Amino acid sequence: MPIVNEKYENFWNRVIVDNQFGKNFKIDQRKSICHLHLPKIIKNDKFGHLIYKKGDYIRNQYEIICTLGEGTFGKVALVSDKIRRHDAPQTQALKIVKNIEKYREAAKLEINVLKMIKKLDTKQKSNCVNLIDWFDYQGHICISFEVLGSSVFDFLKNNNYQSFPLEQIKSISHQLLKACKFLHENHITHTDLKPENMLFIDSSFVTLYDKSTSKRYMKVKKTAIKLIDFGSATFDHEHHSSLISTRHYRALEVILNNGWFQSCDIWSIGAILFELYRGFTLFQTHDDKEHLAMMQRILGPIPSNLLNKSKVYFLNDGKLIYENNSPLIQYVHKQCKPLKDYMLARSEQHLLLFDLIALLLNYDPNQRITSKAGLDHSFFMEMS
């Protein structure tokens, strides 16, 4: 067993008797230091990621098991908490943010939101991810969470973009609206709702066979989800950045630079519901001008009063600048069609779903349905 030097023996003595932590640890937990690694020199790669390997320890507490994922912000590792408090799970997901100032600052803002959610959601009914702890590990902000399953997007991708069954769409969308209602009532806008930021609590599945296509597909067993990634979340009283949301889920008012508020989340939910239903994004574009042209093809003309408020370069006297027979318009007409033409059936439940999507994608943010009203929509009539 490793020899414990005096410095770290004194440290653990302090932890055990400390007023803040003492009641959360047993005396014999000090013995666990025998199998903890003493601190080593921290190294980062050229992108600012913390360099680690399986079996390494972070803060002499979290043992690295494996990497769960990686993003622009940093990495998420599966870890075992060797000195956990009585109410914390041993296995946790640890978000390790890059040691780069802009990501550090974003992480601190995310922590503020997560702490507020934790304070307000004492019974964990909000469908938002649960914060366990956070700390600064030599320049790397680390945030620990409960371990969840795969994202809705990853499940969709791994299922060859097979759309979800209607009853599962109903369950997922109801939870999404419920989470949004909780956030909005507490003066928080998520600003980056998308399938990648919706995680199944348990993504285990059964494999079924579709006779009509002669293909196998996956069906998730439990549809319970939680929202993650509050790095861009904004309180009502805070500065609102002009550019928010991932392109495919970005509301009209954001593109037009008309200012935004909580209803931009509602637009994102409308785009998400369509994607769950068809398996592909509604607005498949990476260009503002093309995006607006697609909106008009799918949802109808954009009201002139909304266009007149905007000062973006591709508008002139409240009209989009392009020729009727331009390559852009030809492409949009070929790739897109009116919203209801995407329906796979005309039964009542399909009609109700598309009625809800249309309300969520209302151009006018002041007239767009709220999360509370959305939960009362007839599409959810049979839900308790």
Which residues are catalytically annotated?
192
User: Which tokens is 31 given?
Assistant: 């013995």
DSSP summary character for residue 340: G
Number of other residues whose CB lies within 10 A of the CB of residue 69 = 15
List the alpha helices (DSSP H) in 159-303: 166-185, 252-255, 263-278, 288-299
Q: Look up residue 252 and give its amino acid.
A: L
Closest CA to 272 of 172, 129, 148, 382: 172
DSSP string, 117-186: HHHH-TT--SSBPPEEEEEEETTEEEEEE-----BHHHHHHHTTTPPPPHHHHHHHHHHHHHHHHHHHHT
CB proximity list for 364: less than 8 A, separation 6 or greater: 303, 306
The answer to whether the CB of 332 falls within 8 A of the CB of 290 is yes
Alpha-carbon torsion 308, 311, 316, 320, what sign? negative
Cβ-based burial of 204 (10 A; exposed 0-12, middle 13-18, buried ≥19)? exposed
